[in-house]
Amino acid sequence: MPNPVPCAIVIFGASGDLAQLKLIPAVYELCREKLVSDKFVLVGYARSKEKKDGTPLTDDQYRKDCYDAIKKHARRQPIDESVWKRMEKNIYYVSGAYDSAEDHARLATKLKELDKSHETGGNRLFYISTPPEVFEGIITRLGERLKSKADTSSGFERIIIEKPFGRDLQTAKHLNAVLHQYFEEQQVFRIDHYLGKETVQNLLVMRFANSIFEPIWNYKYIDHVQITVSETLSADDRAGYYDKSGATRDMIQNHMFQLMALVAMEPPAALDSISIRDEKVKVYKSVRQMEARLTDTHAIRGQYGPGQYKDKTGMKPTPGYTKARGVAPGSRTETFSAIKLFIDNWRWSGMPFYLRTGKCLPEKLSEIVVRFRSPPLTLFQKKSDAVYPNDLVIRVQPEEGISWRLNAKVPGGQMAIKSVALDFLYKTTFKAEPPEAYERLLYDSLLGDQTLFIRGDEAEAAWQVIDPIEEAWAKSSTPPQQYAPNTWGPKAAMDLIELDGRRWLHSSADDEPIVACSL
């Protein structure tokens, strides 16, 4: 694997949860694998000048905080102290306001000093890991410094932006305009951590490196596609943020649409960032726009009520979403969303894609189910029975892998058929744990490879699909349907698929019935 050049990595929002849980441990893992240059620095930037206990946030204190984060959250434990020693001397901290020209000038001065002391060559990777309301201020101040004579570095400048990228088409276009005022598109890395997961990347290999799939990868042989991203936790602890977003904006417009695009896209001309992202944009532009009259039946939204949900320690009570702190009175923000979409092109004409996501569901799960059409009803069944259709189940989390469900005869004298699974798991097949998504994405951004990042027109095309649904919900007199915690959402979500003669696959571990057949 190519080694990145020397670089200064600047994390805005350095004291936040994402930085502590994911980003800093990811940098450590890259150092452990020697996938960052020895001549790198990590600069944390945040508003905090001191910790909650009053301890001043100095370089040394921030290094201690980084060590604690790595010791607690690094993928491989125990940590390698020799790796930490090499990393520790390259960590620094700067406090300042996100939209302050004066504070950004201090950051620029610090980076120039580090260019000399660590030979980073003027290369900059800015990671914006902050609430979305401060994105524009950070981008503007960075852009002003980079475009002015105050920063004469000759190295590259790249900027990584966390989701959400806007909250609708209009705000996404505005944010793109701000970015492009100062940065070229090849400098911008809009991150979606799902694209860094091994199984998601393996979708391209599975589809285009195995000739058995391409001839049948269309509506003639596939009955429908299900995409499920379910969470067992509630939104109670971050309801103030969540109430401004909701399940559809928070999960479907980005994570789930990325999965859908990789399943539905045409073969790219090459495995490069331009070709792959061109095909993903075509998918979004081919999605049939949902008419307002169809939202009550094709776009289901729900809110969890009072009850018990699962967390790491067991069952935990919730008063219900509308009673959580920070939720606006009478809020109609959905904590569950299930949508039926159609992609109007030759490959998928008339074949539905079902997407669902929610909080307080029975299982933490991210998976794609490609359900093939049932075989002709002529041989192995009575007239009242049906042989179970074949499923290709692509599990993104918690256990990354692929399961191929086939029908097989049950041993014995009777002709009985049961659905069996041919399973492939990364851990057992490759005898190694897949790297964290942020490790791969940080590494690619250091190399300048944008393949696993979202292009500006791609983000806008995804919002073009979601906006009509959100607008129809805003005008609708129908509120979100209540559902009990630790269930699979409101009844209407079941009706969404069952009225089409189909059903949700709740888990790739479901035990399918044995079908007894007459010969």
Mean pLDDT, residues 47-60 taken together: 80
pLDDT at 90 over 60: yes
Give whole-number Cα distances, 294 to 196, 247, 342, in Å. 34, 19, 13
CATH 3.30.360.10 residue window(s) in the chain? 195-516
pLDDT at 225 over 60: yes
Give the number of other Cβ atoms within 10 Å of residue 54's Cβ: 6
Mean pLDDT, residues 330-341 taken together: 96
d(CA 135, CA 13): 11
pLDDT bucket at 398, cuts 50 / 70 / 90 = confident
Predicted pLDDT of residue 374: 84
Poorest-pLDDT segment among 66-75, 327-336, 403-412, 450-459: 403-412
> How many alpha carbons lie under 13 Å from residue 20 in its C-beta half-sphere?
10
Structure tokens at 497: 């698929």
For 442-501, write each residue's pLDDT tens digit.
999 999 999 999 999 999 999 999 999 999 999 998 899 999 999 999 999 999 999 999
Predicted pLDDT of residue 32: 94
Structure tokens at 8: 């200064």
d(CA 506, CA 503): 9
Predicted pLDDT of residue 149: 53
Predicted pLDDT of residue 152: 54
Contact (CB, 8 A) for 488 and 504: yes
Q: Across-strand partners of 422? A: 404
Predicted pLDDT of residue 507: 41
Predicted pLDDT of residue 339: 98
Burial class of residue 401 in the structure, from the number of CB atoms within 10 Å of its CB (0-12 exposed, 13-18 middle, 19+ buried): buried
**Which of the pair, 199 or 293, is modelled with greater confidence?**
293
CATH 3.40.50.720 residue window(s) in the chain? 7-162
For 493-515, write each residue's pLDDT tens digit.
999 999 999 999 874 344 454 44
Predicted pLDDT of residue 385: 55
pLDDT at 432 over 80: no
pLDDT at 191 over 50: yes
d(CA 445, CA 160): 8
Mean pLDDT, residues 52-67 taken together: 87
Predicted pLDDT of residue 518: 40
d(CA 163, CA 513): 41
Task: Decide if 193 is catalytic.
Answer: no
pLDDT bucket at 412, cuts 50 / 70 / 90 = confident
SS3 194: helix
Give whole-number Cα distances, 248 to 233, 253, 293, 423, in Å. 17, 6, 18, 31
Tracing tokens 């994911």 back to the chain, one arrives at: 22
Mean of the per-residue pLDDT values of the chain: 90
pLDDT at 416 over 90: no
Predicted pLDDT of residue 146: 76
Poorest-pLDDT segment among 16-30, 37-51, 137-151: 137-151
Mean pLDDT, residues 37-59 taken together: 86
Q: To which H or E segment does residue 112 belong?
A: helix 101-118
Structure tokens at 227: 């995409």
Backbone angles phi, psi at 165, to 5 degrees: -95, 85
Active-site residue, from 104, 118, 193, 255: 255
Highest mean pLDDT among 264-268, 388-392, 429-433: 264-268
d(CA 235, CA 231): 10
Share of the chain above pLDDT 90, in %: 73
For 286-325, write each residue's pLDDT tens digit.
999 999 999 999 999 999 999 999 988 899 999 999 999 9
Mean pLDDT, residues 421-440 taken together: 84
d(CA 298, CA 300): 6
Predicted pLDDT of residue 429: 83
Give the number of other Cβ atoms within 10 Å of residue 53's Cβ: 5
Share of the chain above pLDDT 70, in %: 94
- List, as one string, the DSSP characters of 275-328: HHHHHHHHHHHHBPPPPGGGHHHHEEEEEE-SEEEEETTEEEEE--GGGSTTPP
For 253-280, write each residue's pLDDT tens digit.
999 999 999 999 999 999 899 999 999 9
Q: Against a cut of 0.75, is the pTM above it?
A: yes
- Select from 3.90.1170.50, 3.30.360.10, 2.10.10.100, 3.40.50.720 the CATH code of 195-516: 3.30.360.10
Mean pLDDT, residues 388-399 taken together: 88
pLDDT bucket at 434, cuts 50 / 70 / 90 = confident
CATH code of the domain occupying 7-162:
3.40.50.720
Structure tokens at 462: 């995804």
pLDDT at 150 over 80: no
d(CA 183, CA 145): 12
pLDDT at 92 over 50: yes
